[in-house]
Structure 1
C-alpha cells in the first residue's frame, strides 16, 4: 500500500509539471513566431514559404524534413538520403520540379547510389513521368555486340570500361547479370528506345528532372492564412500549427479580426489563473498524500518495534510509560549530557535509585537504533557494560532508554578538559583502559551472541563513582554468531577518527570484531597522549605530525617519552605499556591486530614481554568531539588544531 501511495503522489507531481509546461499560454513566443513565419523567403533562385524552411527562416516555420539548402544560385534538398536540385517551385499548385544532383552531368555519376524513392508522407509523383532505368556493371556478352540502343560504358566506382545499359521502364531487352540498377524518374522527353541512340537527349532529361507534389499541411495552412495567421509546424505533435499576432498559437486558425487585444489578454489571464488554481490543488493533494503516507510508514515502524519488543521477552527490563519518564526526570529538568542519538537527563526511580534517561531524538531510521540498544544491552551482564534498567516506547517521537546512573559522567571530559582537578592518575587510567578491554572481551566472547559495538570512543565510556568504566551506547551495534569471522554491514558506521580502515574501505579487509579493537586502540592512544592538557614537544614537527607515528619513532630508537603526569617509574611503565598495546590495536591489517582477550593479557602482563609492533601505515583522519571542544599538538614553531568525533550512522 505504501508503494502504491508513493506512485500516486509521484504521478500527481508529474501531472503538475505537465500543466505548468503546457497549460500556460506562450503569448510572448507566438508574436516572434508569427513575425518569422509570416513572409516567404528567398533561397537561391527559389522563393518559398510553408512548409519549407532554411537560411534565416527557422525550423518552426516548416516541416523538419523540408529543409532547403541555399548556396549561391542553387537550391538543394534531401529526400530519403538522396540530394536533389530544386529547379522550380509553384506554391499555387504545390508542385516542385527536382533533379538528382548525381545525374546532372550525365548517366555516369562518380558513385552509383540507390534508386529514387519519395517519402510518401511528404510527396506524390507528378502526373507525367517515365522511369529511366540504368544498369551498371553488365558483362560484355550481355549485349551480343554493341548495336543495342541504350548500351554505353563509363567509369563507375573507380572501375573503367564497364558496360552499362539504359532503358525506359522495365524493358524486355534488359540485360542479365548486371551488378547495379538505378531508377531515376524523368519528364516524358525520352519516349522510346530509339532516343538512346543519341545520349544527349537522355542527359537533357536527367537535367530537367521530374515533378512532385507536396502533401504537408495544405488544407490547414489555407485555413490559417485565411484567418490572417502564419503557418508553422509543431514537431512535438507532428502537426501544422497557426501563429497569430495577438493570441497564443496551437489552434488551426486565429481569432476573427474583430477580436481586440484586450479580449485576448483576458482569455490568457483566465487561462493563467485557472492553471495556477489547478496546480495549487494538485500540490495540496500531493501534500495530503505524503502526510498520509508518512503516517502509514510510522504505523508500520511502530508495529515492527512492538513485535520486536514482544519477541525479546524482556522479563528483567521494565517498560515505562512516557508520563513515568517525565515524572522520574522532573519533566526533563536536569540535563547531564548530549549524545549522537539524543539528550541524557538525570532521574530517580521510585525506590530512590538514580538513573540516566536517554531520550532518543526523532530520526529517519526504522527504529533500528532503539532496537539495537535494547537487543544488545538486554543480553549483557558485566561490570564493565552499562545496565539497562528500563525503556519507554510510544511512537517515533516518544522513545527513552533508562540506565544505571554514572556519577562521573563520560570519559571524554577527563581527556579534553585541561583543569588539574580533572586529570586522572596513571594508575587510574590503567584501570580504566583494562576495564574497557574486559568489557569488550565480554561482548566479543562472553555472550551467547557476539556483539560488535562499532562506536567505541571516550563519549561512550561512562565512569561510576569509583571510576569503574562501563561501555554504553549500543545504537550502532551488530549482533552475530560467536563463530562468525566476518559480518556484513551496509555503508559506514562509527565516529570519524575511530573507524577502522576496513569499515569505510573493504579493500583493507573484512569487517569483524577486530574493527572494535581498532577503535579501542585509537581511544587509549588518545587517552595517554593526545589530551587537551598534554603539551607534547616535537622538535622536528611539521603540520602533518601524527601522534602515533611520533611515539612509534621514539620507542623504536629507545628515546624517552615525556607525558604530563608521569612522575614515578610505575607511571612510566604504565604509559609505555598502554602505548605499545594501542599501537598493536591500530594496525591497518585486521589480521595483525590482537583479540581483546590478548589485549587484556598484554595489559596484565609485564612490560618486558611486549614487543614493538609494525608501524601503522595509515593515519587516522582528523576528529572533533560532539561537545565542540578542540585540542592541539603544539611544537616549537606552530600549533595544529584538530577536530574530533562526528558520528556516522
Structure 2
C-alpha cells in the first residue's frame, strides 16, 4: 500500500500546471475615501470598472455604495472585515413621517448576476403583512399569538404582526400574509417602543460580504464579471489527468486509513474479548465450586433458554439498574415470579453467591423466597417469588402528600414492623449459619397481597458461624442514611447483628414519619432530621406527636411505641441498642412499660447535606 502511494505521488509531481494568460487591468491593492478605512477587493472605485464587484463612489463627506440600481450612503466600515454600515435616506424620511409606505415592500438588497456574493442585513425585524379579512381576522390573531407575535399595526388595507425579539418565519404562514423584513435599531438604542413599529425601524443597517468565488481566490486569481459572465483571472488550471490522479491518491489514502483503523479495532476487540472470557471463566469456576459444595442448599437451577421462556422473552420489564434488569415471569405451575437478570460480573461473583447462599438456605414467611437461579456462561439470573405490592418504600416516602398510615393504616404498619423484626430474628437465630443483611431499608422490604413484609436483596449479606462474636468486612456495606456508625469507624464499637438493628431503627422512624429521616424540603430547620425532631416530642411527653392521620388514642399509642423502639435501635453505641428479640418484645408489649432512650449524640445533618436518594430504586434491588 505504501509503495503504491509513493508511486502515485511521484507521477503527480511530474505533471505541470498550465496557466491561463488572461490579462487584467493594473488595479490598486486598495483605495480610500475621506474619513473611512481603506477599501479592498471586491470593492472598487467607480473610476476602475474592472477591479472589483461592488462599486464605491467617494464623496467629500465619505462615500456611497451601489446595491442593485440604488445608491446608499456609507456611514462606517470595519477596518479588518468586509462589513459596512450604510443608510437609505429615502427609507429614513418615510420612517420619520410614520408613513405606511415604509412598511409596504420587503427591504432587500439585490446581488449582481451571476451571483458572486451574498448580503446579510443585520439587525432585522420580521413583519407579516396580512390583507384585512374580517372572516378570518380572529383566527389569524390567535395564530400569531400562538407563534409569539404579540404586537400588531394597521396600515391602509393591511394588518402587520411583529415581535422585535423574534425573527423566525413559521412554515405554515397563512396564505393571506406576506413576509416583510426591514432594518431595525439595536435593542440598546434609546427610545424603543415595541407598540410603535416606527420607533423600532432604522435607516441604517449592516451587511456582510460572503464571496462566492472563494475557490477562484485559492487558485491565485480574483473573480470578475465581464458582460454578465464569470471570470477567474490568472488562476491555475488543472489538466484532466492531474484531476484523475488526485482522485486516485485520495481514494487510496482513505482506503489505507480505513483499513488500518479497522484492523486496529478488530485487534483491540479480540484482546478485550479474550480478557473478558478469562474473567468470566475465573468467575464461573468460583461460583460453580460454591454450588457444588452447597448442592443440597441451593434452589433449582434453570438454563438460560428456560429463563427466556419464563419471562416470555423478557416481555414485561419491572425495573432496571446498574447491575441488571428485573422482569416479570410465570413458572410452569403458573406461579408469578420476578427474574433479576444480572448484566455484569461484579466482585468475583460475591453478590451472586451471597444471594444464592443466603436466601437459598432460608425458609421463613418474612424472607423472600429464591425460586431458582441461572448460571450459563456469561448469563446469570436470580428468580424470586413475585410481590404484587412492591416495596415498602412506595408507601412511606410520599413527600408529605399523604402518610404511610393513611395508605395502609397504623395497625397494619405496626404489623409490618413486627414482621420485619421476626425475619431478622430468623436470620440471626433460626438458621444454622447466621446471616447479617447489611442493607435493611424500605426498598428491600417487599409486600405481598396481604401486606406481609419479606426481607429481600441479600447482595451485601455476610454469613458467619454462630460462635463468632466479631464480624470483619473488607469494604463499606449498606446505603447512606441507614449505615450504623460502627461500620464507618470501629471507634464506635464492633460490627454485629446490632448493625442491622440500627438500620431497622432508621427504617421504623421513616415508617412513622411518612418521609425520609433527612428531609431538606421542610420549612423548619429543626425538622430536617426527623429522629431529633420526634425525640423532642417524646421527651417532653407531647401528646400531639404532629403526625398525619392519627385519629384515635390507640393509634397514638401505636405510633409512640414505634418511635420509642426506633430511637432505641439507632443508639450510637451498639451495646446500648436492644437485640432484635428485645425489639420484638417491645413492639408486642405495652407502650407504658417502655423507657425513653438517651438521645443519639451524633449531630443531625445540616440542610445542605443529604444522603443519596433511593427514590428510583426497584423493589428487587434495582433502580427503575
Selected match of 2:588 from 604, 620, 624: 604
Change (3 A) 1:561 1:339: farther
Following the alignment from structure 2 to structure 1, what is the Cα–Cα distance between the partners of residues 327 and 298? 22
Selected match of 1:463 from 444, 447, 454: 447
Following the alignment from structure 2 to structure 1, what is the Cα–Cα distance between the partners of residues 271 and 422? 52
Following the alignment from structure 1 to structure 2, what is the Cα–Cα distance between the partners of residues 368 and 317? 17
> In the alignment, which residue of structure 2 is the partner of 1:342?
324
Following the alignment from structure 2 to structure 1, what is the Cα–Cα distance between the partners of residues 396 and 471? 32
Following the alignment from structure 1 to structure 2, what is the Cα–Cα distance between the partners of residues 353 and 413? 24
Q: Is the 8 A contact 2:323 2:622 kept in 1?
A: no
Change (3 A) 1:457 1:533: closer
Q: Is the 8 A contact 1:534 1:564 kept in 2?
A: no
**RMSD (Å), alpha carbons:** 3.4
Q: Is the 8 A contact 1:376 1:477 kept in 2?
A: yes
Aligned 1:308-319 pairs, distance under 5 A: 308-314=290-296, 317-319=299-301
Aligned 1:280-359 pairs, distance under 5 A: 288-314=270-296, 317-338=299-320, 341-359=323-341
Following the alignment from structure 2 to structure 1, what is the Cα–Cα distance between the partners of residues 622 and 474? 16
How many angstroms does 1:280 deviate by? 11
Following the alignment from structure 1 to structure 2, what is the Cα–Cα distance between the partners of residues 537 and 298? 45
Secondary structure at 1:355's aligned position in 2? strand
Selected match of 1:403 from 377, 384, 392: 384
Change (3 A) 1:340 1:479: farther
Secondary structure at 1:362's aligned position in 2? coil
Secondary structure at 2:408's aligned position in 1? coil
How many angstroms does 1:483 deviate by? 2.2
How many angstroms does 1:469 deviate by? 0.3
Aligned 1:383-462 pairs, distance under 5 A: 383-396=365-378, 398-417=379-398, 418=401, 423-462=407-446
Secondary structure at 1:548's aligned position in 2? helix
Matched, 1:556 2:539: yes
More divergent stretch after superposition (353-362 vs 288-297):
288-297
Following the alignment from structure 2 to structure 1, what is the Cα–Cα distance between the partners of residues 470 and 322? 26
Following the alignment from structure 2 to structure 1, what is the Cα–Cα distance between the partners of residues 452 and 348? 34
- Number of positions where the alignment pairs a residue of Structure 1 with one of Structure 2: 358
> In the alignment, which residue of structure 1 is the partner of 2:610?
622
Q: Deviations over 1:523-572 (max 9, x none)?
A: 11111114279999999x32783111111112111112121121111110
Aligned 1:485-500 pairs, distance under 5 A: 485-500=469-484
Following the alignment from structure 1 to structure 2, what is the Cα–Cα distance between the partners of residues 420 and 521? 18
How many angstroms does 1:611 deviate by? 0.6
Change (3 A) 1:399 1:646: closer
> In the alignment, which residue of structure 1 is the partner of 2:530?
547
Following the alignment from structure 2 to structure 1, what is the Cα–Cα distance between the partners of residues 269 and 314? 34
> In the alignment, which residue of structure 2 is the partner of 1:200?
none
Q: TM (normalized to structure 2)?
A: 0.53
Following the alignment from structure 1 to structure 2, what is the Cα–Cα distance between the partners of residues 314 and 331? 30
Secondary structure at 2:423's aligned position in 1? helix
> In the alignment, which residue of structure 2 is the partner of 1:79?
none
How many angstroms does 1:576 deviate by? 0.4
Following the alignment from structure 2 to structure 1, what is the Cα–Cα distance between the partners of residues 580 and 322? 26
Following the alignment from structure 2 to structure 1, what is the Cα–Cα distance between the partners of residues 343 and 265? 30
More divergent stretch after superposition (313-322 vs 430-439):
313-322
Q: Is the 8 A contact 1:585 1:593 kept in 2?
A: yes
Q: Is the 8 A contact 1:536 1:562 kept in 2?
A: no
Q: Is the 8 A contact 2:481 2:611 kept in 1?
A: yes
Secondary structure at 1:366's aligned position in 2? helix
Following the alignment from structure 2 to structure 1, what is the Cα–Cα distance between the partners of residues 278 and 551? 63
Change (3 A) 1:547 1:340: farther
Q: Is the 8 A contact 2:336 2:386 kept in 1?
A: yes
Following the alignment from structure 1 to structure 2, what is the Cα–Cα distance between the partners of residues 291 and 536? 46
Secondary structure at 2:384's aligned position in 1? strand
Following the alignment from structure 1 to structure 2, what is the Cα–Cα distance between the partners of residues 485 and 308? 25
Following the alignment from structure 1 to structure 2, what is the Cα–Cα distance between the partners of residues 587 and 534? 17
Following the alignment from structure 2 to structure 1, what is the Cα–Cα distance between the partners of residues 517 and 600? 25
Q: Is the 8 A contact 1:411 1:462 kept in 2?
A: yes
Q: Deviations over 1:316-369 (max 9, x none)?
A: 611111111111111122222346643222211111111111112314321111
Change (3 A) 1:341 1:429: farther
Aligned 1:500-519 pairs, distance under 5 A: 500-519=484-503
How many angstroms does 1:307 deviate by? 1.3
Q: Is the 8 A contact 2:283 2:345 kept in 1?
A: no
Aligned 1:55-94 pairs, distance under 5 A: none
Change (3 A) 1:373 1:340: farther
Following the alignment from structure 1 to structure 2, what is the Cα–Cα distance between the partners of residues 324 and 334? 16
Change (3 A) 1:314 1:356: farther
Aligned 1:69-148 pairs, distance under 5 A: none
Secondary structure at 2:482's aligned position in 1? coil
Structure of larger gyration radius: 1
